[in-house]
Amino acid sequence: MKTWGEDWEHSEANIHRIGISARKTFADRHGGRLILFGLVEAEDNFDEIMAHEFYGQYKGPMGAWNVTAGRFGLPWGLLPGFSASRLLYDMPHDRLLGMDVDSGVKVSGMVGGPSHVP
């Protein structure tokens, strides 16, 4: 006969992935912003620790143009601010698309303005 708690004697808990991020925003009086961001992740019970994202982004007035430099997340699908890697269930994007971050310089923004929207 099993005693209470005997089933738990050989149990173990593992950390698959955990991360911590920091973000600081500096603004000027013209509406421009400098954003500094860092994300460090640990995997497999802290056996592997990596700097996942580290970048600086300068956003022009009202986000009309943006320049990002460093190691940053790539947009996935049609939602550029959406990160499928942060979901609690498994997504096929890593097997289909490969990595979700890249290093370099990215220039983005809007073409035209509100008067050009149909």
User: For the purposes of burial, counting CB atoms within 10 Å of the CB of 84, is it exposed (0-12), middle (13-18) or buried (19 or more)?
Assistant: middle
Q: Which residues pair with 66 in a beta bridge?
A: 59, 108
Contact 75, 97 (CB under 8 A): no
* pTM listed for this prediction: 0.66
Q: pLDDT tens digits for 12-61?
A: 778 888 889 999 999 988 888 999 999 998 988 888 888 889 999 999 88
